[in-house]
Amino acid sequence: MVGAGQRILLSVAAMSRIRLPGSPALWCAALATAVCLATGISAGAARTAPTVKVYFGQGEQLTAVQRPGATVQDALTALIAGPTPAEQKSGFRSYVPAATRIRSVTVSGAIATVDLGAGFMKGTAADTTLARLDQVISTATAVPGVTSVQLLIAGGTPLGLFPGVDATVALTPAALATPNVPATPPTAAPGGPVSAGTRALQEQLAALGYLLPSGVDGAAGPGTQAAVTAFQKWQGLPRTGTADERTLSALATAQRPTPIRQGPAGRRIEILVDRQLVLAIQDNQVVRAIHASTGKPSTPTTVGHFHVYAKFARWWSVPFREWLLWAVPFDGGIALHQYPDVPAFAASHGCVRTTQYDARWIFDFSSVGMPVDVLAKST
């Protein structure tokens, strides 16, 4: 197919073999202007090609990317295609199965009725089911003029497929962004017996930066267990959370952890993916070493250099419909935050989980603009 610029250049070639009245220089100048105008028009048309927003998961939130298109059908087709390899490296993930088929899309007024094939419900994990629903609603309503979506699955109304969401009515992003569960209250530490041995262990952990001084009370509990786990992670010991003989022997000669990288003066954080640890650093000295759980292999925490861009005492995760307490986001929907379950291995959707015994401290330690380095290797 020949474009406008190519047609003019072909004309120039033809005219070069024809004798024309007037100055050759004037003809060349006129033709050059015509070529510029034609190619300029083509470039301008490319610049104004319509695009649609497509929403992918990034950590515990959704983030929009641009794709060519103008309709709800275009947007949903791009959504099913998934993020590009470059976007995946930046932590973008889709929970919409690639097997999803668009049966039909109709728009009446401000409501889009979207009928998806049964492949949309592939898999049984409730969290990904909610996330894929939110991706569809957010993507479809980003098309100008569309404010809500009536979702159908294989021609039928979804009943009980999306926990906590009534999908029998047309859904809006605002409805999905409205919290419908209470925030998880802090759990009281079990009141166990106080012992001199436990107090001595806690004092050692606090002196090395693994436990807060307020945690030195002589009673064993989950806060002490998290501190022991953090110590074992730094030392390369089995992550049992129990102060066994190897752990106590290592504690006897241990030094405070040191930063993996030297940085500027002030406060910053290093997240060590291989060790599943958070290092809180001030003036290149480790203030705290904290037990954490980063993104699991299917939704890894993005490695790189970032900065804290906000702080939320209570942050609602729209795609997963859960509260993230004491959240410190640093890369789109990826944040440090409190979570009830913080295993010794990577298990999150891309965020960095910490326990209730450390999350508030990290929140207070952090400030907007503070550097955060996520490191794949710390040895």
The amino acid present at 237, given as its one-letter code, is L
Closest CA to 140 of 117, 162, 115: 115
- Considering only CA atoms, which of 368, 374, 364 is closest in space to residue 277? 374
Q: Which fold does the domain 196-253 belong to in CATH?
A: Muramoyl-pentapeptide Carboxypeptidase; domain 1 (1.10.101)
**Tokens standing for residue 203:** 């004092």
For residue range 40-62, what is the model confidence (pLDDT) as tens digits? 545 555 568 999 999 999 999 99
* pLDDT at site 44: 52
What is the spatial distance between Cα 289 and Cα 208, in angstroms, rounded to a whole number? 8
Cβ–Cβ under 8 Å, residues 290 and 365: no
Residue 8: predicted pLDDT: 37
If you ran DSSP here, which 8-state letter would residue 188 be given? P
The residues, ordered by sequence, that sit 6+ positions from 238 with a Cβ below 8 Å of its Cβ are: 232, 246
Least confident span in 8-17, 20-29, 161-170: 8-17
Question: What percentage of the chain has pLDDT greater than the value 70?
Answer: 86
Q: What residues are paired with 317 via a beta bridge?
A: 322
Eight-class DSSP state of 3: -
Taking the C-alpha atoms of residue 372 and residue 7, their distance in angstroms, rounded to an integer, is 54
For residue 29, pLDDT over 70 is answered with no
Confidence of residue 181 (pLDDT cuts 50, 70, 90): confident
- Provide the β-strand partners of residue 63: 56
267-375 belongs to which homologous superfamily? L,D-transpeptidase catalytic domain-like (2.40.440.10)
Residue type, 58: Q
What stretches of 122-221 show up as alpha helix (H) in DSSP? 126-141, 173-176, 196-207
Please tell me the predicted confidence (pLDDT) of residue 4.
43
CB 363 within 8 A of CB 352: no
Please work out, in degrees rounded to the nearest 5, the angle formed at the alpha carbon of residue 231 by the alpha carbons of 227 and 237: 130
Start-to-end Cα distance in the chain = 56
What type of residue sits at position 36? C
**Cα 230 from Cα 357, distance rounded (Å):** 13
Distance (Å, rounded) from C-alpha 125 to C-alpha 108? 32
- 78-89: b or e for each residue (b if 16 or more CB lie within 10 Å)? bbbebbeeebee
Return the pLDDT at 28: 42
Q: Which of 223, 235, 212, 213 is nearest to 190 (CA)?
A: 223
pLDDT band at 125; cut points 50, 70, 90: low
* pLDDT value for 27: 39
Q: Between 180 and 253, where is the model more confident?
A: 253
Rounded CA gap, 105 and 72, in Å? 7
- The mean pLDDT of the chain is 88
How far is 118 from 11, CA to CA, in rounded Å? 55
Q: Are the C-beta atoms of residues 269 and 306 closer than 8 Å to each other?
A: no
